[in-house]
């Protein structure tokens, strides 16, 4: 699965994207965020407050309880505001 990081998440993780192969028990967006947080200190810092992280599966905004299913790409980004 391709993981994309935007804005301060990218800065904290130290990369814009990576390819990962999460274990079978990682089924939801929230599961994936927790699993990624365990990969390194920088990942843990990026996902320290899940309430301020948004996600999109295959370019579609989803909630943390969304199933990963057969998604090929997930993007993590901060909340956005319009103006």
Taking only the tens place, the pLDDT of each residue in 15-61 is 999 999 999 999 999 999 999 999 999 999 999 999 999 999 999 99
What pLDDT is stored for residue 4 in this prediction? 98
For residue 82, tell me if it sits in a domain: no
Domain range for 19: 2-77
Flag whether pLDDT at 9 surpasses 80: yes
3-state SS string for 37-71 = HCCCHHHHHHCCCHHHCEEEECCEEECCCCECCCC
What pLDDT is stored for residue 74 in this prediction? 99
pLDDT band of 80, cuts 50, 70, 90: confident
For residue 14, tell me if it sits in a domain: yes
For residue 31, tell me if it sits in a domain: yes
């Amino acid at each position: 699965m391709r993981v994309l990081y935007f804005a301060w998440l990218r800065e904290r993780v130290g990369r814009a994207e990576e390819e990962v192969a999460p274990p079978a028990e990682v089924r939801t967006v929230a599961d994936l965020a927790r699993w990624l947080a365990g990969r390194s200190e920088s990942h843990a810092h990026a996902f320290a407050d899940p309430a301020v992280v948004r996600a999109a599966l295959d370019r579609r905004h989803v909630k943390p309880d969304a199933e990963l299913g057969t998604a090929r790409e997930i993007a993590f980004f901060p909340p956005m505001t319009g103006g």
